[in-house]
Chain A
């Protein structure tokens, strides 16, 4: 599993980095950016889903890998 942020959608609500700080962090204007390469390690899946399900702009994208 991998997360990314759709830059065209993100408006800086900050839900992702509040709910899943291990996966997301704010940039200097409060937009969300992925920490590192966005790979979700075992145990972080719930946090990733919570971030995606709470983004008002639906900007958090989860890519399930085979």
Chain B
């Protein structure tokens, strides 16, 4: 886990998305902020804002003129301005006009048609995992199940060795959760990731094969090959962004079903409801909060924003806005109207959303088929991740036979 953070006095004026209360359960805080101020502020991280209304989150997600994506993980430093419009991990860190082309290169590999081809392999892997857990009374749904699935899928897509799975989980932890590490240490950890990726590039240059890494090395944008920095940055994005996000969504779904027998029993009895239920679980427990940097000093909806202030785009908060969703704080497993923003809004819509949905559906199908009856072994033992990707990291589940 990341370093302990200074206690938060008031989330309206001093919020910290690594704060202990926030990590334990952010939703009551979000509801409090919704009543008191629609845009929270903090001096932490060099200054950051956090709107909680759907309307405001959407407005910023669409507004690439005033808000930059040049990095999307809030930290204590900002990358240099001249890194825009490409950013460190294109296209998530890219601004227009570069963003469009960099995203276009990747979209076919993540289309529903391309993702459907990965479903049988993903299912076989999930079944292998549940086979390995069979017969136990208590299993960790996060550490022993959820986390393995996206790691295997993305390693295979990129053509990285499956045995490096532990290393990928470490990179995810170091880069996404280590924002409060001392800067020197943080730099070294990020360098370790890029060093690994560069070695993979060399291996793929020497031995091209049918995977995303070789595809990126051959890909063209505006008639030219991608620069080496672009290729490695995109590989970093694909490796990191697909892992803890999907792992969090699977884990949070299992957590909900473990503590809500009526929903679990209904999904076991009506498996055809699962796609609808998944959308509701994504709405209610959206794992991802994105970030933007303010481009220039401005007043935005009454907020005196300074250049290089962070803005957290809380899709979890947007998804619980009662202006948009009826009974927003309730999980309605068969909710029919569900315009949720778990995968973001606007031009940066999650590139991997079709992949994530497939993994989440297959993971829950395989789990429920084998373990239809389960509950939280110890609710107090559940540990949630801090920061911008929220999901259970420890999830002891009692499996009943």
Tell me the A residues contacting B by CB distance below 8 Å: 11-14, 17-18, 26, 28-30, 50, 53-58
Tell me the B residues contacting A by CB distance below 8 Å: 104, 107-108, 110-113, 275, 279, 336-341, 343, 345-347, 349, 353-354
Cβ-defined contact, A14 with B353, below 8 A: yes
Cβ-defined contact, B111 with A18, below 8 A: no
Partner of A11 from the list B104, B108, B340, B349 (CB cut-off 8 Å) is B349
What residues on B are CB-neighbors of A54 within 8 Å?
Answer: 279, 337-339
Known A26-B113, A29-B111, A56-B345; judge A13-B336 contact (CB<8 A).
Answer: no
11 more contacts with CB within 8 A, not counting A12-B353, A14-B353, A28-B113, are A11-B346, A12-B349, A13-B343, A14-B354, A17-B112, A18-B275, A26-B113, A30-B110, A54-B279, A54-B339, A57-B345
- Report B365 CB to chain A, min CB distance, Å: 16
Cβ-defined contact, B339 with A56, below 8 A: yes
Cβ-defined contact, A26 with B112, below 8 A: yes
Partner of A13 from the list B104, B108, B275, B349 (CB cut-off 8 Å) is B349
Expressed in whole angstroms, the Cα–Cα distance for A64 and B304 within the complex equals: 44
Cβ-defined contact, A14 with B341, below 8 A: no
Residue among B275, B339, B346, B354 having the largest count of chain A Cβ atoms under 10 Å: B339
Partner of A30 from the list B338, B345, B346, B354 (CB cut-off 8 Å) is B354
Expressed in whole angstroms, the Cα–Cα distance for A50 and B338 within the complex equals: 9
Nearest A residue (CB) for B110: A30
Nearest A residue (CB) for B115: A30
What residues on B are CB-neighbors of A56 within 8 Å?
Answer: 339-341, 343, 345
Cβ-defined contact, A29 with B345, below 8 A: no
- Report A53 CB to chain B, min CB distance, Å: 5
Known A14-B353, A54-B338, A56-B341; judge A30-B107 contact (CB<8 A).
Answer: yes
Cβ-defined contact, A11 with B345, below 8 A: yes
Expressed in whole angstroms, the Cα–Cα distance for A46 and B345 within the complex equals: 25
What residues on B are CB-neighbors of A13 within 8 Å?
Answer: 343, 349, 353
Expressed in whole angstroms, the Cα–Cα distance for A65 and B92 within the complex equals: 41
What residues on A are CB-neighbors of B354 within 8 Å?
Answer: 14, 30
Cβ-defined contact, B341 with A30, below 8 A: no
- Report A4 CB to chain B, min CB distance, Å: 18
What residues on A are CB-neighbors of B110 within 8 Å?
Answer: 30
Cβ-defined contact, B339 with A29, below 8 A: no
Known A14-B354, A18-B275; judge A30-B112 contact (CB<8 A).
Answer: yes
Partner of B107 from the list A12, A17, A55, A58 (CB cut-off 8 Å) is A12
Expressed in whole angstroms, the Cα–Cα distance for A26 and B357 within the complex equals: 15
What residues on A are CB-neighbors of B349 within 8 Å?
Answer: 11-13
- Report A29 CB to chain B, min CB distance, Å: 4
Nearest A residue (CB) for B112: A26
Cβ-defined contact, B343 with A29, below 8 A: no
What residues on B are CB-neighbors of A14 within 8 Å?
Answer: 112, 353-354
Expressed in whole angstroms, the Cα–Cα distance for A58 and B346 within the complex equals: 11
- Report A28 CB to chain B, min CB distance, Å: 6
What residues on B are CB-neighbors of A53 within 8 Å?
Answer: 336-337, 339
What residues on B are CB-neighbors of A11 within 8 Å?
Answer: 345-347, 349
Nearest B residue (CB) for A25: B112
What residues on B are CB-neighbors of A50 within 8 Å?
Answer: 336-337
Expressed in whole angstroms, the Cα–Cα distance for A56 and B279 within the complex equals: 12
Expressed in whole angstroms, the Cα–Cα distance for A6 and B110 within the complex equals: 22
- Report A31 CB to chain B, min CB distance, Å: 8
